[in-house]
Amino acid sequence: MHAQGQDGLLSTWRSSLRSRGLWAYGLALVLVAFYIDLYWFDHFQPLAEALGLRSKWFLYGALYSVAMVGGGLRYLRLHGNSRYNRWRIGVNVGVQVLLAFALPFVMPLLGGVEFYPSYFWPLKWDLLLPDTLWQLPLYLAVYALVGSLLLSPVLAFLIGKRWYCSWICGCGGLANTFGDPWRHLTASSTRSWRFEKVAVHSVLVLVVLMTAIVSLKSTLSPSLPAFAGFADQTKQIYGFLIGSVLAGVVGTGLYPLLGPRVWCRNFCPMAAMLGLAQKVGRFWIRVKPDMCISCGNCTAYCEMGIDVRAYAQTNRSFTRASCVGCGMCAHVCPRGVLKLENGAPVGLRTD
Ligand code: SF4
Ligand code: SF4
């Protein structure tokens, strides 16, 4: 507790790298430049090949895994005194290294397809397109369909979106390890909350429409030739804007300036879908009444910009669609006010 409590907060604001100082701007610049080069140029391809990797994307996967391992070790040094944190970060890093990097690399070498079992629709938006499903072996096509449309929302209903956003997903994993030093930078104003709700649900609507449009391409284009071009353009615009600019350049490149969950909070369609299930589901954060001393640790550490203290001060247990169940609010509370539980009473008021 000592290492990540009040001392941790004070030292945070003394560090230029963690408080939007020159070092933070410098690192953000390097990260943004890296993502621009990765997405739109091929400078990393020769290095990938020299290292025996199939493409620059596997080089990126390797760097991503290294960043998560390094960030995970740092995180555990500070917060590993909690069993929840140890398991959560251990599983998250293991999933990245084994299922999101090693398995997709090895499968084609053994005659299989390159498949990423830890990513589901709508995060991996092309997974449920008819063309993609036809190309997969039956067991993987069933896994993709059941995992995306049934398992993901049902688990979010039962135990909250934390099962995915804080335990499985690579985006959440990077945010919780490499991005952890900047978690306090996430905006917690009401205006940022309003923006989050409009933005994230708009992307969800967009991905549903786009999946439908692209799926209908082969059926409609014989009678409507212009439809094929429209479907291709829709796909390209989504890939550029959501997949590259918002997920990569802004979502990760600006960690040191905006905090590590910009993508997850504002633009990830998977987070939006799971958030809806969570909102009507069983997961909540229980507030023990009349114990809060208003220190603000919980709000400062919340990577999703939730003003946890406001709930604690007014004795309101809560469920918020954006909460990823990282558990940090409960972990840093000096009074043990908060508890993550899967037993919310039916009809709990949610915001
Ligand atoms: S409310 Fe607590 S558990 Fe939820 S995202 Fe914020 S810090 Fe994590
Ligand atoms: S709930 Fe705990 S961490 Fe949050 S303000 Fe109250 S005492 Fe501080």
Write the secondary structure of the chain as one string of H (helix), E (strand) and C (coil).
CHHHCHHHHHHHHHCCCCCCCHHHHHHHHHHHHHHHHHHHCCCCHHHHHHCCCCCHHHHHHHHHHHHHHHHHHHHHHHHCCCHHHHHHHHHHHHHHHHHHHHHHHHHHHCCCCCCCCCCCCCCCHHHHCHHHHHHCCHHHHHHHHHHHHHHHHHHHHHHCCHHHHCCCCHHHHHHHCCCHHHHHHCCCCHHHHHHHHHHHHHHHHHHHHHHHHHHCHHHHCCCCHHHHHHHHHHHHHHHHHHHHHHHHHHCCCCHHHHCCCHHHHHCCHHHHHHHHHHHCCCCEEEECCCCCCCCCHHHHHCCCCCCHHHHHHCCCCECCCCCCCCCHHHHHCCCCCEEEECCCCCCCCCC
5 lines ligand 2 (CB under 6 A): no
Residues with Cβ within 8 Å of residue 3, at least 6 apart in sequence: 77, 78
Ligand 2 centroid, distance to 17 Cα (angstroms): 26
Task: Please report the atom of ligand 1 found closest to the CA of residue 340.
Answer: 3
pLDDT, the chain, mean: 94
pLDDT of residue 224: 86
In total, the chain counts a number of residues equal to: 351
Task: Note whether residue 324 is domain-resident.
Answer: yes
Residue 149 contacts residue 61 (beta carbons within 8 Å): no
**pLDDT exceeds cutoff 90 at 141:** yes
Taking the CA atoms of the chain, what radius of gyration do you get in angstroms?
Answer: 21
> CA-CA distance, 307 to 90, in Å (whole number)?
27
Residue 52: Cβ within 10 Å count: 7
Ligand 1 centroid to Cα of residue 302, in Å, is 5
> Which is nearest to 161 in space by CA: 273, 86, 75?
273
Establish whether residue 168 lines the binding site of ligand 2, counting it when its CB lies within 6 angstroms of any ligand atom. Answer: no
The CA distance from 4 to 297, in Å, is 10
Ligand 1, atom 7: nearest CA belongs to which residue?
A: 302
pLDDT over 90 (residue 2):
no
Domain contains 330: yes
Nearest ligand atom owner, CA of 305: 1
Domain range for 328 is 279-341
Give yes or no for residue 10 having a pLDDT over 90. no
Whether residue 289 lies inside any domain: the answer is yes
Question: Nearest bound ligand to CA 287?
Answer: 2
Q: Is the pLDDT of residue 258 over 50?
A: yes
- Quick check: is 292 in a domain? yes
Q: How many domains does the chain have?
A: 1
* Residue 263 CA to ligand 1 centre (angstroms): 16
Instruction: Please name the residue whose Cα sits nearest to atom 5 of ligand 1.
Output: 323
What pTM does this model have?
A: 0.93
Ligand 2 centroid – CA 195 distance (Å): 26
pLDDT at 56 over 60: yes
| Domain-embedded: residue 291 | yes
CA dihedral sign, ordered 282, 151, 196, 202? negative
CA-nearest of 269, 259, 339 to 301 is 259
The type of residue at 299 is T
Task: Give, using CA atoms, the residue closest to atom 6 of ligand 2.
Answer: 292
Please report, for the domain that includes residue 295, its CATH number: 3.30.70.20
Question: Whole-angstrom Cα distance, residue 57 to residue 161?
Answer: 27
Atom of ligand 2 nearest to the CA of 313: 6
pLDDT score of 8: 55
Instruction: Kindly state whether residue 239 falls inside one of the protein's structural domains.
Output: no
Q: How far is the CA of 337 from the centre of ligand 2 (A)?
A: 7
CA-proximal residue: ligand 1, atom 6 (nearest) = 302
pLDDT reading at 155 higher than 50: yes
**pLDDT score recorded for residue 1:** 41
Q: Which ligand is nearest to the CA of 6?
A: 2
Residue nearest to atom 2 of ligand 1 (CA): 329
Ligand 2 close to Cβ of residue 285 (< 6 A) = no
Terminal CA-CA length for the chain: 31
30 is a domain residue: no
Q: Which ligand is nearest to the CA of 337?
A: 2
| Residue 5 pLDDT exceeds 70 | no
Flag whether pLDDT at 259 surpasses 70.
yes
Ligand (nearest to CA of 313)? 2
Residue 312 Cα: closest atom of ligand 2: 1
Confidence of residue 184 (pLDDT cuts 50, 70, 90): very high
pLDDT greater at residue 347 or residue 29: 29
CA of 107 to the centre of ligand 1 (A): 36
Does residue 333 line the site of ligand 2, with CB under 6 A?
yes
- Within a domain: residue 151? no
